[in-house]
Each structure stands twice: as structure tokens, then as C-alpha cells.
Chain A
């Protein structure tokens, strides 16, 4: 926010308190809102960069899902288990976009608990987590062929629909914070991947998704509040470093069950510390 607006803000403040200059107040408000609007429209570049990113992610997601589905249908449990978590990362990274489709998102990503919470029965359950159940709980792919086929169909539909999403700065800003909220509410507690315990993959992908949005806004943000950028950079680094502690040396992550309460507490507070400044990113539209 530039100095001019700050000064204006101060003058309006005096009006508000002294309550003696009502007309001026409305006039100034209009002026301020207008300036917010103008600047919002200058985020075109950022918006299209983000859309491009989401499309790329979902392209990869289709391919990775193809590989995973193939393994399931070939009855190769080990291979399918190996491909499961990495494939999901593309989805988790672009979740702000994927979530725009109210029906597709649950078909691909619902946990049994979500389905039940909706008052539906187990037969309504589909998607990745159902296959997760088969692979880890039952140790089989048998009987899951149809689920696998449907999953691939849904994922392809998602990819096709992305073209139609209207990406706005609002969606990006809210999305970045939502990604971290996802981490806080379900990844930290290990409630996302209750059979495979591959929560750290989703965790990492959510953080990367948020970081991407930050990177896209970084230039604009630096011009407005370099301190905020510095703070965000630092906090992303802290969190990335913490996550790196749990890499398994084979390009993946250790089972979430290996983490102690101290570990998850440290991760949780790193996420909170990042979330607070991240929620200030909305100043880019001012």
C-alpha cells in the first residue's frame, strides 16, 4: 500500500471517529475501492501462470493414474502400492483447482469416513482411497478392477474440465491458505491415509502447492511488502527442512506411523507459523 493511501486512511479514520464528515467518507471509500479494482485486474499474468501450472499437474496426474490403474488391473499389488502415493501428489498440489468440481473431487479422493459422514453407504465409495484400502488392508487388487477403471475416467474428466475453471487471484490466495489448512486438519493427524500411512507425500504436495502460489505472486508481493516475502521464504524453508528429515532416501517419505508426538507437534507449529503470514498474501490485490 502506498503512502498516499495510508494518509487517506488516516484522514478517513478521523472522519469516522469525529463523525462530522459523512459525505467525504463515502467519497473516499469509492476512491479506495476503485484503486483496489484496478490493481486486481493487473494480476492477469499471475493468474494465467497458475492455470498453466494446474494444467501441467493434472496432465501428470492423468499419466500417473494410468500407470497406477494398470498395475491394479494387472494384479500387481507391490507395484500399485509403489505408484499410489507419488501419483496422488499431482492432485494434492493442484487441489485448489480440483476442488472447484464438487462432484469429481469426492469421487477421486473421498475417504470412507467422508462418505459415511454424508449419510451414504460404503457402496458409494470410489477412488484412490478405496484402492488404498484394497492394497493395504486386504492386500489384493481382486474385485477392484471396476473401481480402477472408474478412477481413471474421473481423473480424465477432471483434466478436461480444468480448462473451464475461471482462475482468479481470490481462488489462488484462498487456495494457498486452504492447502495449509488441509495439512493442519487432516495430514497432521494422519487421517488422510489411514491404511497406507503415506500422509507425508500429501503433506509435502500441499505445501508445494501453496509455495507455488507464493512464488507466482512473489514479485508483486516484494514490491508491496518485502518483509512479508522474507518471512514467507523463511517459513517455507523451515517447513521444507523439517519434512526433509523424513525422506526415505528412495525419493519418498517414511510411514507416518514412524513419527513421534514430538515430530508431529514440530510439523504442526511450523505449518501454523507459515499459515499466519501466508494469509497476509491477499495484500497483492490492493
Chain B
């Protein structure tokens, strides 16, 4: 068999559905030896390369100019995890990201991370809970936090972009150390919560000894349909969340708001983006006893339609300077009004969460896993500072978790995640 044939063979990978069909009848997956995929390829002196499989249903591509899970529309379920890095050298870390590259493609193809082994005394290389499920639009987004660059054993201090630092303390922050910081993050989003979880679980399992889990948060979004199109999802305060976002299909706008351009940061960040994440508790009990008019004044939008106050269409112009009898129509302490006091913009990609109840108070532990992407963390900082103490929304929310990560640019075929940083 020549090299080309092998490659095309391996590109096919193992569909999780295929495995179901063939299990037990001496299928390819079952016959393969314990050392698995990489072992076989290594025997031929090949570096394992797995490509995006375009025949896969409900698939998002892994390879490209930018990572997936940033501009990808309409994410439903998220599993976000922040990790501590315990690797002892940069080489170990680089190898981990190389493995994660291959695994990510497999996962986003809806395949097992490694085929099963014939040896039943070994645990299965893939944990298996996604068998029978398709790719479910899985996206995987990887980033590194400021603390990673402070680890002297990794020797990467000089690679740290100066804008990559812990977010400053903001007025009214009440951060809980259990939800702060991290050396590395993985954001997994999918139409199915189990597919997202499976991806993170297998990535972490493959990196035992190199990372430990620091904190994690799941989240969800639900989309109503109108004319066969998904509508803006509502957060747990019942307001449409995402209306004011910039247009992800507008390349120019994305280059201005989201993607780091050459020369704007360390070169390994060109084409990447900064991910700000906040775990924000939403006090549902207080909110629920607030008059509807007050609720609408809190955001500056109507609840039902999502339209700017005084208007009826969700997407009509905010016209923030509108006045009636000398008073601003959109209240000056409303969330949207304050967000627009600075010229900075960001791409928000948040998820609701509900984590049972707070054992101290007996109230819901629910809120928003706020995630935003911007080419410079300062955009987030400026907007959050504009909210400051003034935002009427502050009465109903408390920021509990916070972290900032530099997300790598996309991966070229044959290369790997973070190559610019590790090579």
C-alpha cells in the first residue's frame, strides 16, 4: 500500500455510527491492536494526520484560518473548562497540543478518538458515551491564560502578549476563587450536551499528568424557530441575548472586532482572539418580583420582541440618543445605553446555566456563562467599566467567576494547535 492510499484510508477515520454497525463481527475497529491508530502509522514512519471529513453529518470544520467555536452560529450546549498546566517542559505541552489537534479532528468528525483494541483487558481508548451520536456541530476552541507564561519550567515568558493579563477588579465584583483563572481553556460546544462533554472528557483523559481541572461550567441556549430560521435565544431573565452583536458574516467587521491582525499582538496570535469568560450569577428570585416596565428599563429593550424601547422590531436601530420631553427614551443607566457609551465592540457568545441550588441561601444557582471574543481584552474592560456601578442590571446579578484566555489562530492542515507559540 503506498503512502497516499494509507492517508486517504486514515482520513476516513472511524465513524461512531460505523462502529455501532460493525461491532462484534471482526470490524476494523475491533481488530486493531492496542497501540492503535498512531502506533500503526508510526510503524510506517508517518506523522498521523487526520483531515476534516466532509461527508460527516452536522459537521463544523476544524481546519481553517480561525478556530471553530468563535464565529460558529447558534451554539446550543457548552462545556467550558479551565485547566492548570502541570507539564514539566514546553516540549511536553507542545506534544499535548499535537495530540489534541488529532483528537479534535476525530471528535469533530464524529469519530472515536482512537479505534477500539482487540485486547479486552485494556480500557477502551475512547470513553464511548458518544457512540451512536453524530458530530452534532461540535466545535472546540482552545486558549491559554496569562499564568501559563509565568511557569519558568516552560520558558515561555518572552512569548506573552502584554495585553494578556488577569482582568482587573471591577466595581461590584464578588469573585469566588473556585471560578477564577486558568492556564489553558477548552470551550466545547455542540447541539448535544453529551457530545460536548465527551469531547472534553477524552481530551483531558489523554492529557493526564499534563493538566488538572481547575474549574468548569456548562451552559445552554434554546432557539425558537421563525420561518425556518433560529431566533435570538433568551437568557434566564427572558430577554433576547445577542441582538446587538456584530455580524459574524461580515469579514471586515470581524477583522475589526474579533481577530487579532498581524502586528497587533505577538505574532503567534495573528488570526486568534481573546476570550473573556465570566460566571455571572443571576438572582432570579429578585428579578421575578420586578415589574415588567422596570425589567425593560434595565436593558433598554422590550422583553417580548427584543426591540429597542419605543420600537417594535428586534433589529431596528437603537437610536440611543432619542429623547422624549428632554429625557432619554433608553434609560441612561440601562445595560445597553451604558454598553454604547464606549466605542468598543465585542462578539458575545454566552450560555445560560442552572447548577441546582445555592446551599447557603436555598435560591437557584443560575446565571449566565458570559463569553466574549475580542481582538484586545481592553474592549471587554472598557465596556465592563462603563457598566461600573451604574448599570441597573447590577441589582440583579453578581459576577462570581472570571478568566481571560488567548485563543490561538486556526490550524493549517498538517500543523497543530498553537504551533506559532511552541515551534
User: Which residues from B are CB-within-8-Å of A25?
Assistant: 26, 31
Q: Which one of A13, A276, A280 has the greatest number of beta carbons of chain B within 10 Å?
A: A13
Q: Which of A9, A15, A279 contacts B122 (CB 8 A)?
A: A279
Decide if B312 is an interface residue (CB 8 Å cutoff).
no
**B119 near A273 (CB under 8 angstroms)?**
no
Contacts A36-B118, A282-B119; A3 near B43 (Cβ below 8 A): yes
Interface residues of A in 100-152 (CB under 8 A from B): none
Task: A16 to B208: give the CA distance in the assembly, Å.
Answer: 31
Residues on B with beta carbons closer than 8 Å to the beta carbon of A277: 208
Point out the residues of chain A lying under 8 angstroms from B414, CB to CB. Answer: none
Collect the chain A residues with CB atoms within 8 Å of residue B6's CB. Answer: 10
- Give the interface segment out of B32-40, B267-275, B291-299: B32-40
Pair B40/A6 contact, Cβ less than 8 Å: yes
Q: In the complex, identify which listed stretch (A26-34, A78-86, A191-199, A249-257) lies at the interface while the others stay far away.
A: A26-34
| Cβ–Cβ contact B26 & A26, under 8 A | yes
Which chain B residues border A11 with CB–CB below 8 Å?
A: 1
Q: Does B225 interact with chain A (Cβ within 8 Å)?
A: no
Do A235 and B209 touch across chains, with their CB atoms under 8 A apart? yes
Query: What 1/0 flags go to B34-52 for Cβ under 8 Å of A?
Result: 1100011001100000000
| Pair B26/A276 contact, Cβ less than 8 Å | no
Size band of the interface chain B makes with A: 20 to 34
* Contact residues of A between 212 and 239, Cβ < 8 Å to B: 225, 231, 235
What's the least CB distance linking A21 to chain B, in Å?
A: 11
Report Cα–Cα, A1/B40, bound state, in Å.
10
Q: B33 is contacted by which of A6, A17, A174, A269 (Cβ under 8 Å)?
A: A6
A177 smallest CB distance to B (angstroms):
8
Residues from 28 to 57 in A contacting B, C-beta threshold 8 Å: 28-29, 32-33, 36
Q: Would you call A12 an interface residue if the criterion is a C-beta within 8 Å of the partner chain's C-beta atoms?
A: yes
Contact between chains at A17 and B208 (CB < 8 Å) = no
Contacts of B209 in A (CB 8 A): 231, 235, 273, 276
Q: Is the CB of A285 within 8 A of B32?
A: no
* Contact call A282/B12, Cβ cutoff below 8 A: no
Residue among A26, A170, A276 making CB contact with B205, cutoff 8 Å = A276
Identify which of A9, A36, A169, A269 gathers the most chain B CB atoms within 10 Å of its CB.
Answer: A9
- With a cutoff of 8 Å between Cβ atoms, the chain B residues found around residue A240 in the complex are none
Q: Is the CB of B40 within 8 A of A283?
A: no
- In Å, the complex CA distance between A7 and B239 comes to 59
Also in contact, A283 and B119, with CB within 8 A (given A6-B43, A10-B6):
yes
B119 and A7 form a contact (CB under 8 A): no
21 A-B pairs with CB atoms under 8 Å apart are A6-B33, A7-B43, A9-B40, A10-B40, A13-B32, A13-B115, A14-B1, A16-B26, A17-B9, A17-B28, A26-B26, A33-B118, A173-B121, A273-B209, A276-B209, A279-B123, A282-B34, A282-B122, A283-B119, A286-B34, A286-B119
* Besides A16-B27, A283-B34, A283-B119, 14 other A-B contacts (C-beta < 8 A): A1-B34, A6-B39, A10-B40, A10-B44, A13-B9, A13-B115, A14-B28, A25-B31, A36-B119, A225-B35, A235-B209, A269-B212, A280-B122, A282-B122
By Cβ-Cβ distance, the 5 closest A-B pairs, closest first, are A16-B28, A282-B121, A276-B208, A273-B209, A6-B43
